Amino acid sequence: ETGVTQSPTHLIKTRGQQVTLRCSSQSGHNTVSWYQQALGQGPQFIFQYYREEENGRGNFPPRFSGLQFPNYSSELNVNALELDDSALYLCASSLALAGGREQYFGPGTRLTVT
Amino acid sequence: QKEVEQNSGPLSVPEGAIASLNCTYSDRGSQSFFWYRQYSGKSPELIMSIYSNGDKEDGRFTAQLNKASQYVSLLIRDSQPSDSATYLCAVKGGGAGSYQLTFGKGTKLSVIP
């Protein structure tokens, strides 16, 4: 157990809808990163949040957006869902003061878009 | 584009044998290297991190790093059926973009009792 929690566990949405996924970081960790893992692939970096600001972004369109709150928890929002958005969404927390090198994953949210 | 390459497997080893997992990366400026274990239907679990050339041992696991060859490996000694999982190699750069982990597709390991 890493202490990183995510909700919901599973989610089924229809193409075109919007979804919000939530993450609580491990106690003491101030940085949250989001990854998308398609079946049979490694996780792909979406973005990272530090001090409530986006600290870097991968190759994902603007309809993927996020927030970080003062308690370091985070949300991932996806608008205009597409079938290819079906994946496991992973949140990882780390401590920036340690260089943020080691990232610990939560259990993930399985999103299915129909 | 930064790339991390792993053999997809499956790699099958008998119980008690040494499993050897390999990974190469394209970004010569990479500074931090990680191995994650992912059981089917679960999220990745960090099992090893290595930052400097050489070997790092933790229990039955040994990570090896060769920055000149841009190569990192994971050895699992005395393999157990519970080690059967997909092993993901992840690399973190040292410069711009150093906040993200770049993952390989993973190697599926099967330990045969």
Looking at residue B9, what is its pLDDT?
Answer: 86
Question: Tell me: the pLDDT tens digits for A37-55?
Answer: 999 999 999 999 988 999 8
Q: Could you give the CA distance from residue B3 to residue A12 in angstroms, rounded to a whole number?
A: 32
Low-confidence ranges of chain B (pLDDT < 50): none
**Residue A54 and residue A48 in contact, taking contact as beta carbons nearer than 8 Å:** yes
* pLDDT confidence tier of residue A99, bands split at 50, 70 and 90: low
First CA to last CA distance, chain A: 31
Looking at residue B63, what is its pLDDT?
Answer: 98
What are the DSSP calls for B2-17, one per residue? --EEE----EEEETTS
**Residue B5 and residue B70 in contact, taking contact as beta carbons nearer than 8 Å:** no
- Chain A interface, Cβ < 8 Å to B: 2, 31, 33, 35, 40-45, 48, 50, 55-56, 58, 88, 90, 92, 99-108
Looking at residue B81, what is its pLDDT?
Answer: 97
- Cα torsion B78, B81, B86, B88 to 10°: value is -30
Question: Tell me: the pLDDT tens digits for B102-113?
Answer: 999 999 999 999
User: Residue B81 belongs to what H/E stretch?
Assistant: none
Q: Is it the case that residue A98 has pLDDT exceeding 60?
A: no
Which residues in B lie closer than 8 A to residue A2 (C-beta atoms)?
45
B83 three-class SS: helix
Q: Could you give the CA distance from residue A25 to residue A28 in angstroms, rounded to a whole number?
A: 8
**Residue B41 and residue B59 in contact, taking contact as beta carbons nearer than 8 Å:** no
Nearest CB neighbour to B101, from listed A45, A50, A106: A45
Q: Which of B32, B39, B98, B99 to mutate to test the interface with A (most CBs of A within 10 A)?
A: B99
Amino acid code (one letter) for B90: A
Looking at residue A96, what is its pLDDT?
Answer: 73
How many helices, marked H, and strands, marked E, lie in chain B? 0, 11
Q: What is the mean pLDDT of residues A14-28?
A: 95
Looking at residue A35, what is its pLDDT?
Answer: 98
Q: What is the mean pLDDT of residues A49-74?
A: 93
Question: Tell me: the pLDDT tens digits for A78-90?
Answer: 999 999 999 999 9
Considering chain A, what is the average pLDDT of its residues?
93
Task: List, in order, residues 6 or more apart from B95 with CB less than 8 Å away.
Answer: B29
